[in-house]
Amino acid sequence: MHIAWLGKKTPFCGNVTYSREITNALMSRGYKVSFLHFGQENDDSIDDPYNAEVNLPFIYKSQIYTIPTPKSSQILLRSLQELQPDLVHASLTLSPLDFKLPEICQQLNIPLVATFHPPFDSHWRNIKSSTQYLTYQLYAPTLARYDKTIVFSQLQRDLLIKLGVAPQKLAIIPNGVDTDKYKPGQSYFKQQFPDHHLYVYQGRVAVEKNVESLLKAWKLSSLKNDSRLLIVGDGHLTPNLKGNYNQDDGIIWLGAIADETKRIDILRGADVFILPSLVEGLSLSLLEAMACGLACVATDAGADGEVLANAGIILSTQGVTTQLKTVLPMFSHHPELSSLLGKKARARILEKYTLHDNVTKLEKLYLSLHNRILI
């Protein structure tokens, strides 16, 4: 089967990782994959393994959304006519093109699947989450025109049903991780801090990630003598936060690390993973940390609370600083807690969130849509 995948390659974010992991897994299973993405003609694609690659012109592109040029829809239509895929899968990039895709694919009689990533807080408890709710309201009528929309959790599915998307149009296939790569093991990074308890945050340093609440709690917890907090990631808030919370507080800013091997090495060396987000979809960083056997602490934003049920510590998105101030010292005072929760986290991933099992579910979805067209 030939899949035309519409997704992101840059800038680095969860959507980029999702597209890379799924398309690589599909190709390893013998699928023909063509990759369509917002990029420039001179983008370096020498090492890309795809059967075909199409650059769609854009005016602006960020980690959150993309503004395409007016001619991008014509280029997309022409490219699909030439490629003649059996199915189009759009890992939605939050762009105006998302709303034109159903019309384009209906014109060409090609089944259309979407993966809908936008983060949310199921309880709508803060300004950021209410803004995300508007995104769901905006997209719901269009998602109803896709042949199938993949969501990551029951909470996300229920929300879209309330907004008018028919239940049969929705499929729950959560993010998954390669548990052969992401697993407990020796860490070279840990050798730099043999006598310290290591806590780690991995993700964008942005408002919705609520990193400042973590930093405030860390400073109030007075853990700097025997512990270190590692910040893996970057964002527009980094300069300001780095100036106020630094190495004197036991905080180490490692920046964005593109090398996956290095990121895995850091995770393996850490004891506790913290994700203080106000809104989420289903955090790949959380899944990766769980797969590496870290004790995990996360808010119940998006599907993260569902993932951590009985396998970690779940916080409310309200009063994160106060909660973390109480929780963080527990791991230093009771080291056995990290080991216990780390084993539970790894078991939870193996139970429901492996890349292998979830790609198999995706294959079944593709086949059902393809057979429907043939009939």
Residues 255 and 340 grouped into a single domain: yes
Asked whether residue 221 is assigned to any structural domain, the reply reads yes
Residues 148 and 249 grouped into a single domain: no
What mean pLDDT comes out for the span 26-44? Answer: 85
Residues 149 and 193 grouped into a single domain: no
Under 8 Å between Cβ of 80 and 104: yes
Q: What is the CATH number of the domain that holds 230?
A: 3.40.50.2000
Answer whether residue 23 shows pLDDT above 70: yes
Answer whether residue 49 shows pLDDT above 90: no
Interatomic CA distance for residues 116 and 284, integer angstroms? 14
Top pLDDT among 263 and 120 is at: 263
Q: Which percentage of the chain shows pLDDT scores above 90?
A: 80
Under 8 Å between Cβ of 163 and 133: no
Interatomic CA distance for residues 183 and 202, integer angstroms? 16
Q: What per-residue confidence (pLDDT) applies to 151?
A: 95
Q: What per-residue confidence (pLDDT) applies to 122?
A: 58
Residues 312 and 250 grouped into a single domain: yes
Residues 211 and 295 grouped into a single domain: yes
What angle (nearest 5°) sits at the alpha carbon of residue 326, between those of residues 321 and 330?
A: 135
- 317-355 pLDDT per residue, tens: 999 999 999 999 999 999 999 999 999 999 999 999 999
Closest CA to 250 of 273, 230, 271: 230
Residues 60 and 108 grouped into a single domain: yes
- 248, burial (CB in 10 Å: exposed 0-12, middle 13-18, buried 19+): exposed
Residues 215 and 78 grouped into a single domain: no
Question: 3-state SS of the chain: helix, strand, coil percent to 5?
Answer: 45, 20, 35
Residues 296 and 164 grouped into a single domain: no
What mean pLDDT comes out for the span 288-304? Answer: 96
Answer whether residue 289 shows pLDDT above 90: yes
What mean pLDDT comes out for the span 254-259? Answer: 93
What mean pLDDT comes out for the span 244-264? Answer: 95
Q: Give the chain's mean pLDDT.
A: 92
Local structure of residue 41 (DSSP, 8 states): T
Q: How confident is the model at residue 123 (pLDDT cuts 50, 70, 90)?
A: low
Interatomic CA distance for residues 156 and 122, integer angstroms? 8
What is the tally of structural domains in the chain?
Answer: 2
- 128-167 pLDDT per residue, tens: 556 678 889 999 999 999 999 999 988 889 989 999 999 9
Asked whether residue 182 is assigned to any structural domain, the reply reads no
- 92-111 pLDDT per residue, tens: 988 999 999 999 999 999 99
Residues 122 and 234 grouped into a single domain: no
Domain that holds residue 366: 2-176+354-374
Residues 94 and 105 grouped into a single domain: yes
Residues 100 and 214 grouped into a single domain: no
pTM passes above 0.85? yes
